[in-house]
A and B are shown apart, each in its own frame.
Chain A
């Protein structure tokens, strides 16, 4: 990939978005997930978990990823 320069982090972040119509999309997704797992292995509690709202589910995910984090984090 060529070098690209951005005027802000926000601009750089949005440049990461991908076009899902790209026929290579799913293969790249699989590569990205494997690569991310190698760089920063992440393990979530296995099995089935139930939540009363999508907000509760998000908070649970936040706690898994950042134990002890406050809701305002």
Chain B
């Protein structure tokens, strides 16, 4: 499965802040979305996962949110950011998590996600990321 994670602790090169969501960038090809669904089912065993359409992320719905039963967090599957940034354009770095190679989004990718949001906490995160990593606006 081709995917990259934004850690629930706002992953960056060196630091992170606790949030209550898990963002997974998923290559939006239908067969890959099916693999993502299989992975979700293996953890949550929830039939509502079947509602995620194989073509959703590549089509009208580039963000699909799944809220597991009995959990207090959300999982966002993200196929692209806006019109300009596709999965292939994302910057990431690889980490080893208990023997599994995981791609983690870079600070610049997190900044792109958060800079235009309406949520004050996200705006504060964007400002902190920009300051800490000396990021420049690339719009």
* A67 located at the interface, meaning its Cβ lies under 8 Å from any Cβ of chain B in the complex: no
Residue contact A52 to B60, C-beta cutoff 8 Å? yes
* B38 located at the interface, meaning its Cβ lies under 8 Å from any Cβ of chain A in the complex: no
Interface mask (B103-127 → A, CB under 8 Å = 1, otherwise 0)? 0100000000100111110101000
Residue contact B65 to A49, C-beta cutoff 8 Å? yes
Give the complex CA separation of A53 and B113 in angstroms. Answer: 11
Give the complex CA separation of A21 and B48 in angstroms. Answer: 34
Q: Provided the pairs A46-B67, A48-B66 are in contact, do residues A58 and B8 lie with their beta carbons within 8 angstroms?
A: no
Main secondary structure of the interface of B (DSSP, over half): loop
Give the complex CA separation of A19 and B62 in angstroms. Answer: 30
Interface mask (A27-42 → B, CB under 8 Å = 1, otherwise 0)? 0010011001100011
B:65-84 near A, CB below 8 Å: 65-69, 72-74, 76, 78, 81-82
Distance between B59 CB and nearest chain A CB, rounded to angstroms: 10
Find chain A residues with CB under 8 A from B119 CB: 58, 61-62
Binding site for B on A (CB under 8 A): 10, 13-14, 16-21, 25-26, 29, 32-33, 36-37, 41-62, 71-73
9 contacts between A and B (CB under 8 A): A18-B15, A18-B17, A18-B18, A20-B9, A52-B60, A53-B63, A53-B82, A54-B78, A59-B118
